[in-house]
Structure formats: C-alpha cells, structure tokens
Amino acid sequence: FITSYSLWDVMAVGIAKARHGFMTKPYGSLQSHPPEEVYFAMRAQSNQVEQMPGFIVASLSFSLFVNGKVGAVLALLWAVLRRLYASCFRASVGKTFNQIGLSRFTIPAYFIVNSMLMGTAVQCARSLSK
C-alpha cells in the first residue's frame, strides 16, 4: 500500500499542480483556495496519510497476535478500498459531496481496521485470563 501511495497519491498531487501552473509560480502568488482538481488530489493524499497509522497498528497487531492469514486478507481488502477511495475522490471534480459517494469505501475500511483492533484486544484479554 505504501508503494502505491507514493506512486499514485503523491504523484497525482504533483500532476494536478503541474496542470494548473503551480510549478511556474512563486509560493506567494499561489491561491489560498486551489482549483478543485488540486484540492481533491491533496485531500485524497492527506487522508491516506491520516488513515495509515491506525491501519499499520491494527494490521500488525492482528497478524502477530490473532491470525496472520486473516490479517493479510483484511489488510489487502483495506488497501483495495483505500485505492478505490483515492481514485474516486480525485475523479470527483464538479460533483457535490453527496454525489461522490466516498462512504462506500471509507465505512468498510473503518470496519476492517476496527475489527482487527477488537480482535487483537479480545485475543489479549483471552491470554491474560489463562
């Protein structure tokens, strides 16, 4: 996921900024409200960064303490959902937030992370009670 993040999300911000002439302007002349394409690319990228710490803790702890194979499958599902989220968000220029439909990716991704965290907590509680 981290490789796809650096290739798709980070590069997408640079490409969007280049399309809108950001590379040829000094910092002081940039708009305080970037064009929608640039804003959406930056939000998709920053949201991926915001979601990574919880995912890394959840997937590593679940895979180490509960079940590695199930953890790998859940991590893959999460990564696919996050890729779809970023692609959908970047392709949403001209749409309202109701039309974008990001919740179809974010809610299942949240359930995956929280399931892994709860599975780890239950496993830890079970091992303490032995």
pLDDT in tens, 54-113: 999 999 999 999 999 999 999 999 999 999 999 999 899 889 888 888 999 999 999 999
Q: What is the pLDDT of residue 1?
A: 67
Q: What is the pLDDT of residue 79?
A: 94
**Mean pLDDT, the chain, integer:** 88
Secondary structure of the chain in the HEC alphabet? CHHHHHHHHHHHHHHHHHHCCHHHCCHHHCCCCCCHHHHHHHHHHHHHHHHHHHHHHHHHHHHHHCCHHHHHHHHHHHHHHHHHHHHHHHCCCCCCHHHHCCHHHHHHHHHHHHHHHHHHHHHHHHHHCC
